[in-house]
Amino acid sequence: MKTVRASLLVSAALLFGIVGISTNAHGQPNFVPNDQRFWDNSENWTTDYGPAYRDTVLKPENMVACDGQYALCFTSGPEPLPCVPTNDGRFANCTCTARSGLNFVLINAILNYEVWLDTVDVCKADGSRCGIEHKNRAPVCKAINSGKLIPGADRISTFDPSSKDAVIAILEGAPPLVCAKAPYAACMTAPCKQKAGENPVCSCPVFDGVFQLPTPGAVCDPGDNLIPSSSFSSKLLNP
């Protein structure tokens, strides 16, 4: 793993050259700690394939089970749930849907570093101790439900059961739409704001790389200067 990390360090410096404090249009942080340099440092990556905001899925057990309110951004990107990149291209404001009930957090994509460490400690690095039979065991679930994962967020973006199943199906052999290297919105655990009577809008980090779209009818480029919400699997590099 260290070998892969070392080999990716140079490309990381090129991909993630913009540094500094990051707040969204609502003045709230996008990460904890809220410093782009911290997350782009390969020593703080959650997998050997990149930072937490690459939304990397390695195995089915990576999905830890939670129960509570959340935002679903799985099909965001094109209208009517657009993902609009910010002027600097580092984030996308994605219109998502408000949900409640069973949901799943990708353990490799927790945007609060201390909460990620706590979750790994309880659930193991692969999340295998916090499956559906242990809903809300994971510290990340507690942080989301108490409003402490990302300060100021009204909701946090996670997966509903069908989205989780679609991503796992790819790991188990279902062919995804594989999109060539391009910017995509990595919305897992992104902070969201919601006005009364409206859909939540989530501030999703943007990663520039190969990505997958399991949704039927999905397209890699939504057009109109929009980008898709997506994730990455190492299987895409070794099909």
For residue 227, count other CB atoms closer than 10 A to its CB. Answer: 25
Q: Which two tokens stand for residue 54?
A: 């690459």
Beta-strand ranges (E) seen in the chain are: 56-57, 63-72, 83-85, 91-95, 97-106, 155-158, 177-185, 191-193, 201-213, 232-233
In the prediction, which pLDDT does 9 show?
35
- What DSSP string runs through 137-160? -SHHHHHHHTT-SSTT-SEEEEB-
Write the pLDDT tens digit of every residue in 44-81.
Answer: 999 999 999 999 999 999 999 999 999 999 999 999 99
Spatial distance between the Cα atoms of 205 and 207, rounded to a whole number of angstroms: 7
With residues binned 3-state (H G I as helix, E B as strand, rest as coil), the percentages for the chain, rounded to 5, are 30, 30, 40
Burial class (CB in 10 A: 0-12, 13-18, 19+), 15: middle
- Provide the 8-state DSSP code for 55: -
Q: Which residues of the chain have pLDDT under 70?
A: 1-27, 215, 238-239
Among candidates 205, 202, 65, which has minimal Cα distance to 139?
Answer: 65
Beta-bridged to residue 99, according to DSSP, are 70
Output phi, psi for 26, to 5 deg. Answer: -95, 5
CB 164 within 8 A of CB 214: no
In the prediction, which pLDDT does 18 show?
34
In the prediction, which pLDDT does 8 show?
36
In the prediction, which pLDDT does 146 show?
97
**Residue 132, phi-psi category: left (phi > 0), alpha (psi -120 to 50), beta (remainder):** alpha
In the prediction, which pLDDT does 26 show?
52
Among candidates 207, 211, 206, 205, which has minimal Cα distance to 237?
Answer: 211
In the prediction, which pLDDT does 24 show?
55
